[in-house]
């Protein structure tokens, strides 16, 4: 099992979530986060004064899938979240050693 963490633009969350659900990947945890990448924020102007917003709002989507589904999920996220502009986000993939469903005590694949 693998954990997929995707940091995406807030405007893309519904499109990505719907595409994942349509492909059979319904389980996801979504968190509002702030961060920055290489762009180091954006310059904005308010009442004639310029200022830098260096922590931009993003969405973090987390899901755990079987190892053979990782490429499919990543492809869906990339295709639906990509705008071609700086700040589209990143996807991080890491192994999961154990899962336990609290309600039933099921473990690993059965707990998904």
pLDDT at position 43: 67
Distance CA 18, CA 79 (A): 12
Q: How confident is the model at residue 41 (pLDDT cuts 50, 70, 90)?
A: low
72-100 tens-digit pLDDT: 999 999 999 999 988 899 999 999 999 99
Tell me what pLDDT residue 83 has.
95
> Residue 63's pLDDT is what?
97
Specify the pTM: 0.85
| Mean pLDDT calculated for residue range 31-37 | 90
Are residues 64 and 99 in contact, defined by beta-carbon separation less than 8 angstroms?
yes
Q: What is the pLDDT of residue 50?
A: 74
The pLDDT of residue 91:
98
DSSP secondary structure string, the chain?
A: -EEEEEEE-GGGHHHHHHHHHHTT----EEEEEEE--TT--EEEEETTEEEEE-SEEEEEEEEEE-GGGHHHHHHHHHHHH--SSTT-EEEEEEE----B-TTT--BGGGG-
């Amino acid at each position: 099992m693998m954990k997929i963490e995707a940091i995406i633009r807030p405007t893309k969350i519904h499109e990505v979530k719907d595409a994942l659900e349509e492909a059979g990947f319904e389980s996801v945890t979504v968190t509002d986060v702030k961060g920055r990448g290489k762009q180091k924020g954006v310059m904005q102007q308010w009442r004639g004064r310029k200022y830098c917003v260096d922590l931009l709002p993003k969405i973090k989507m987390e899901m755990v899938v079987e190892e053979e589904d990782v490429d499919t999920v990543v492809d869906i996220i990339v295709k639906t979240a990509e705008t071609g502009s700086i700040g589209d986000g990143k996807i991080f993939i890491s192994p999961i050693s154990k899962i336990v469903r609290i309600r039933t005590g099921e473990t690993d694949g059965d707990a998904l």
